[in-house]
Structure 1
Amino acid sequence: MSPTAEPPVPGGRPAVLPAPVDVSLITSGHHVADARLHRHCAALRRAGLTVEVLARGTAADAPPGVEFRPLEAGGLTRRGLHALLLPARARGRVLLTLDPDLVPAARLRRALPGGRRLLVVDVHEDYQALLRDRSWARGPAGAAARIWTHTATRLSRRADLTVVADEHVPPRTAAHRMVVRNLPDFRLLPALQPPGPVPRALYVGDIRGSRGLWTMLAAVEAAPHWQLDLVGPVAAEDRERLREWQRGSSAANRVRLHGRMPPRAAWQLAAGAWVGMALLETTPAFVGSIPSKVYEYLACGLPVLTSPLPRAAELVRACGAGTVADGSDQAARILSGWAGEHRAAYERCRAGAVRWSEDHRQTTTPYDRLAGTVAALLAAASLHPLPDPAEAA
């Protein structure tokens, strides 16, 4: 089944809805090109479940094999409207939420007469810590967001299944809690390939200062033999400064901005790359975690240049698949050495990354285990028949 789309509906329903599906993956904040969203959908489809996705974006960026129902993009007001109405628009026997603001309405929806659904809440980040990394989360807006995320996290404990991305991610006392780490799905990644003739670094993910944007640019600027591919959306607060950098930097022609791309297309850029960059700042949101991109770089056989995030640094050192750079100056020295007099050290790191990739090419991912659990819940649950879509509309 190829992705399908209905016209965006600003908070309402289409005149006629198709028949129910097994799983509705709904998100008020994520773009349909989001990597975790794609990994969820791929595993659910492998488990034989039908899936619809309600998210921002276009059908071209949607996972294959799902029904895609695009949402109208907008600011916080639009997102709030989606948070209230998406659970009612969803047709799935299972609601799988990716954002904390969806949880209250989803909990209410499943409690209403005729609205019984299984609820799976994906709490894939420590939202309270993440807010401390957002410039907008100050003053009254920040206080309201903290109250909302705290409430949503508490409500998620009573979902039919509460999914977290790591052991440290709350809620830790959920009734049915499952850890689904952001490990790579090798089916979405290219085959291992040797590095190309020109030293090239790769970054895939949200592009913002706290995720290492300025550190990466300064490092490549000071390592003139290197190129850099940046894949992902640039944060609004960093766009003007980035434009100024492009106008004035001698390295501007060596840095390519690809914008947002679905995972399969994004990771094709790993072919021929020399290194994956993960120079995130040690913010409260990042210090206790391992960025998913670190695992994906290793899966592609790329050595990792990471900032001193404790768990990421421990991982790349333990498998000999990269090194740690504390700031742009040290990162530039490492890159210059790898392309020059320390090429043998680079080759050892490359070999460590390839070993990691070959050792972890498992056929079953954490997402497959989650999909199997969802399928089992559906099979075991005595769900009331869903209302006729035409009548519900």
Structure 2
Amino acid sequence: MRVCVGTIVHHPEDARITHRQIRALLDAGHEVTFVAPFTHCNVTPQQEVRAIDVPRAVGLHRARALRAARSALRRGAKDADLLLVHDIELLLALPHKRPPTVWDIHEDTAGALEAKAYLPEGLRGVLPPLIRAMEGRAERRLHLILAEESYRDRFEGDHPVVPNHTYVPRTPPPPPGDNRIVYVGHISEARGAVEMVRLARRLKPYGIRLDLIGPADADVRPLLRDAQREGLLDWFGYVPNRHALRMAEGALAGLSLLHDVPNYRESTPTKVIEYMARGIPVVTTPLNRAASLVGRVGCGTVVPFGEVDDVVEAAAQAVLRLRQDHERRAAMGSRGYTEALNHFDWPAQAAEFVGLLERWAEAPARVAAVRAGRAVAV
């Protein structure tokens, strides 16, 4: 099977796209053409894929990337058996003549608008109904994959869920240490950037340092640079997921201080599962799924939403309690690792994901959504 995969929004080393889905396709012996912003992100494509470089869609400046994407997807899908796109923007750039097409829905696009500081206020009321209309049209014309069970309510049909699981090491990772906390993932105000910097300052007298591993929104980069110059933290910028998680191993705690915004409210932050997979106790705000998972497994601490100083103090106390009790943090790390290995290991999902695409590649290009009660098994 020849698959064309496309994104103009996500990083070419995105964990879900590249290290899970494309890796699964390649391991199954399929050919992959990858349309992505390689040059913009300073990424050298994998030798195993046919790469087509496009500009990246950033902020309000997306027209050039969309124009390039139309041409790139037309080239990439010309001889493909399946087209797999990862951005709602690419619904506007699909070739008229194309193979069966799949949209992998990573987020609640309308719900995410609240966290996009670059959007003018006037657009915030206009875009949600437009996005919902695009989703409805896509449901009638394309195959859909959902990253979360909670996304089902946005659609009439019943679409398969391919969850954001991770690779869990076969060998248990090292136990948590006592002098370093970590955050892995994209850094933004809504993901707790201000809280994490203040937490680093709060913990500095105790000899505990913060490692931030991931790219950051433009509006919080000055804050991170100033904190790094002050010696509060190390900000490593973008690091490929598999290397970032190895860097995180041995940390005292992994942070997930996401705010209570619609796009996060019913999702399980992937980073929580990734910390568990690396034996790191979790400190998370009480997003429903994250709090339920951490509480059920006993692999971390849930701190309340609130004013920045209140969240920071609660997180600091959680970290300091972990530091004082080696056996407690080791037990949390061990329980998290075992749960991740048994229930969140990506290879257990990979074959079913590939099988789903293989079945769709043989289907007609236009399909109706699967109606309720006729779920596609994934």
TM over 0.5: yes
1:66 partner amino acid? V
Give the C-alpha shift of residue 286 in structure 1. Answer: 0.9
Aligned pair 1:221/2:204, yes or no? Answer: no
* Residue 44 of structure 1: how far off its partner (Å): 1.4
1:359 corresponds to: 342
2:152/2:159 contact within 8 Å kept: no
Structure 1 residue 46 and structure 2 residue 32: aligned?
A: no
Aligned to 1:272: 250
* Structure 1 Cα separation of the partners of residues 208 and 179 of structure 2: 5
Aligned to 1:285: 263
Structure 1: distance between partners of 2:224 and 2:111: 26
For residue 330 of structure 1, what is the aligned residue in structure 2?
Answer: 314
Q: State the Cα distance separating 1:382 from its structure 2 match.
A: 7.0
Distance 1:338 1:324 in 2: 13
Q: Which amino acid aligns with 2:247?
A: L
User: 1:159–1:176: 8 Å Cα contact kept in structure 2?
Assistant: no
Aligned match of 1:26: 6
Deviation digits for residues 198-241 of structure 1, max 9, x if unmatched? 52222111111110112122222212321222111110111223
- Equivalenced residue count is 349
> Which amino acid is 1:80 matched to?
L
Displacement of 1:143: 4.5
Percent sequence identity over aligned pairs: 28
Q: In the alignment, which of 84, 89, 92 is matched to residue 96 of structure 1?
A: 84
Three-state SS of the structure 2 residue aligned to 1:136 is coil
- Within-5 A mapping of 1:209-358: 209-224=189-204, 225-247=207-229, 252-326=230-304, 327-340=311-324, 342-358=325-341
Single out whichever of 368-377 and 135-144 deviates more from structure 2: 135-144
CA distance in 1, matches of 2:194, 2:343: 32
Q: Post-superposition shift, 1:374?
A: 0.9
Report whether the alignment pairs 1:68 with 2:46: no
AA aligned to 2:312 is S
Q: Does 1:81 align with 2:62?
A: no
State yes or no: 1:56 paired with 2:44: no
Structure 1 residue 280 displacement after superposition: 0.6
Matched with 1:374 is 357
SS in 2 for 1:208: coil
Partners in 2 of 1:171 and 1:85 — Cα distance?
34
TM-score where L is the length of structure 2: 0.84
Secondary structure at the residue paired with 2:265? coil
Worse-superposed segment, 313-322 or 238-247: 238-247
Match of 1:105 among 84, 93, 104: 93
Indicate whether 1:152 and 2:117 are aligned. Answer: no
Distance 1:196 1:64 in 2: 36
> Match of 1:389?
none
Q: Given residue 320 of structure 1, which amino acid in structure 2 is its aligned partner?
A: G
What code does the residue aligned with 1:165 have?
Answer: A
Q: Is the 8 A contact 2:24 2:350 kept in 1?
A: yes
Which residue type is aligned with residue 177 of structure 1?
A: H
Structure-1 residue corresponding to 2:371: none
Q: How far did 1:35 drift?
A: 1.1
Are the structure 2 counterparts of residues 362 and 313 from structure 1 closer, same or farther at C-alpha, using a change threshold of 3 Å? closer
CA drift of 1:197 comes to 5.0
Equivalent position of 1:179 in the other structure? 161
Q: Which amino acid aligns with 1:151?
A: A
Structure 1 residues 334, 139: closer, same or farther in 2, change over 3 A?
closer
- Write out per-residue CA displacement over residues 243-292 of structure 1, whole angstroms, 9 at most, x where no aligned residue: 34344xxxx42511111122222222123223221111111111111111
Unaligned residue ranges in structure 1 (runs of 5+): 1-20, 384-393
- Is residue 161–residue 178 contact of structure 1 (8 Å, CA) maintained in 2? no
Q: Which moved more, 1:212-221 or 1:84-93?
A: 84-93
Indicate conservation of the 8 Å contact 2:253/2:319, yes or no.
no
**Match for residue 204 of structure 1 among 184, 188, 194:** 184
* Distance change (3 Å), C-alpha of 1:364 and 1:246: closer
Gaps of 5+ in 2: 305-310, 366-378
Query: Which sits farther off after the overlay, 48-57 or 168-177?
Result: 168-177
Whole-angstrom distance in 2 between the partners of 1:275 and 1:204: 11
Give SS of 2:48's match: coil
